[in-house]
């Protein structure tokens, strides 16, 4: 059985990752593709417990930047071993709301940690597995902040200063420039327009898979 494909959706707060992940999963299933969806941090019982620590200070204190990084990597290691890799080996396509590029953008560009060290740690946590395609949903920082404000309760990252969010957004764009794996898509337009752009990229990947199996 052929290995499944691994697609991640990335972007700043409010970019529409969860919405477009659900739309993409629905379209792939309609095309007869077995799909598993997940998210970071989360996706496992351990990951969901740590998500509360990372995003809502469930321990009663905020983690330090180093602790924050290691908690994210622990969640990713558990998710990779327990969910993502087994699904891919079963031939399923896995869609994840955030993955390694969020670490590089938030902890690397946002917190100022060394990118080379982050990439080495990520390789260890994931056994060097990488997404086949990463869709970066990009919106201006002002729109990101406006969308977050409209949600109500903000998590720990959403409450960060504007300068932090600017560094994160710039980090995502820099990562996209340096990687053929990352497709940057403007997410400021109509939802249907963004969904069509995402599907065009995924359909190309799907066609390559079908050509290979033919």
Q: Is 103 a residue whose pLDDT tops 80?
A: yes
- In this prediction, residue 214 carries a pLDDT of 56
Separation of alpha carbons 165 and 129, rounded Å? 27
- Give the sign of the dihedral formed by CA 202, CA 204, CA 208, CA 211: positive
Label residue 111 by pLDDT band (50, 70, 90): very high
Can you give the pLDDT at residue 151?
76
* The pLDDT of residue 57: 86
pLDDT band at 150 (very low <50, low <70, confident <90, very high): confident
In a domain, 115, yes or no: yes
Mean pLDDT of the chain: 94
pLDDT digits (tens, 9 = 90+) for 153-178: 778 998 899 999 999 999 999 999 98
Q: Which two tokens stand for residue 46?
A: 């351990």
Residue 83, domain member (yes or no): yes
pLDDT band per the 50, 70, 90 thresholds, residue 147: confident
Pick from 84-88, 158-162, 168-172, 184-188: least confident: 158-162
Q: How many distinct structural domains can be found in the chain? A: 1
CATH at 85: 3.40.50.300
The residue segments making up the domain with residue 194 are 6-213
Cα separation of 119 and 117, whole Å? 5
User: Residue 108 falls within a domain, yes or no?
Assistant: yes
CB 175 within 8 A of CB 105: yes
- What is the spatial distance between Cα 158 and Cα 21, in angstroms, rounded to a whole number? 20
120 falls within a domain: yes
And the tokens for 153? Answer: 């309760």
Q: What is the pLDDT of residues 58-76, one digit of tens each?
A: 889 999 999 999 999 999 9
Instruction: State the distance between the two ends of the chain, measured CA to CA, in whole angstroms.
Output: 13
Measured between alpha carbons, how far is residue 86 from residues 81, 98, 165 in Å? Answer: 7, 18, 34
Does residue 1 sit within a domain? no
Sign of the dihedral through C-alpha 99, 101, 104, 107: negative
Per the domain annotation, does 24 fall within a domain?
A: yes
Separation of alpha carbons 182 and 174, rounded Å: 10
Contact of 174 with 167, CB cutoff 8 Å? no
3-state secondary structure of 34: coil
**How far apart (Å, rounded) are the C-alpha atoms in residues 128 and 124?**
7
Asked if residue 171 belongs to a domain, the reply is yes
172 occurs within a structural domain: yes
Provide the pLDDT for residue 115: 98
pTM, 2 dp: 0.94
């Amino acid at each position: 059985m052929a290995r499944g494909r691994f697609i991640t959706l990335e972007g700043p707060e409010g970019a529409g990752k969860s919405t477009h992940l659900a739309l993409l999963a629905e379209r792939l299933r309609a095309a007869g593709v077995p799909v598993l969806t997940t998210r970071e941090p989360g996706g496992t019982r351990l990951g969901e417990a740590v998500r509360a620590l990372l995003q809502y200070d469930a321990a009663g204190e905020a983690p330090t930047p180093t602790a924050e990084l290691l908690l994210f990597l622990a969640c990713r290691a558990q998710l990779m071993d327990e969910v993502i890799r087994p699904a891919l080996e079963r031939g399923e396509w896995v869609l994840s709301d955030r993955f390694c590029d969020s670490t590089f953008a938030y902890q690397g560009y946002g917190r100022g940690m060394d990118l080379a060290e982050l990439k080495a740690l990520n390789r260890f946590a994931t056994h060097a597995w990488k997404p086949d395609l990463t869709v970066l949903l990009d919106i201006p920082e002002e729109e990101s902040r406006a969308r977050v404000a409209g949600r109500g309760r903000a998590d720990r990252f959403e409450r960060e200063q504007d300068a932090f969010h600017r560094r994160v957004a710039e980090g995502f764009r820099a990562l996209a420039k340096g990687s053929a794996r990352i497709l940057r898509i403007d997410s400021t337009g109509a939802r249907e327009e963004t969904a069509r752009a995402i599907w065009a990229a995924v359909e190309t990947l799907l066609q390559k898979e079908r050509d290979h199996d033919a």
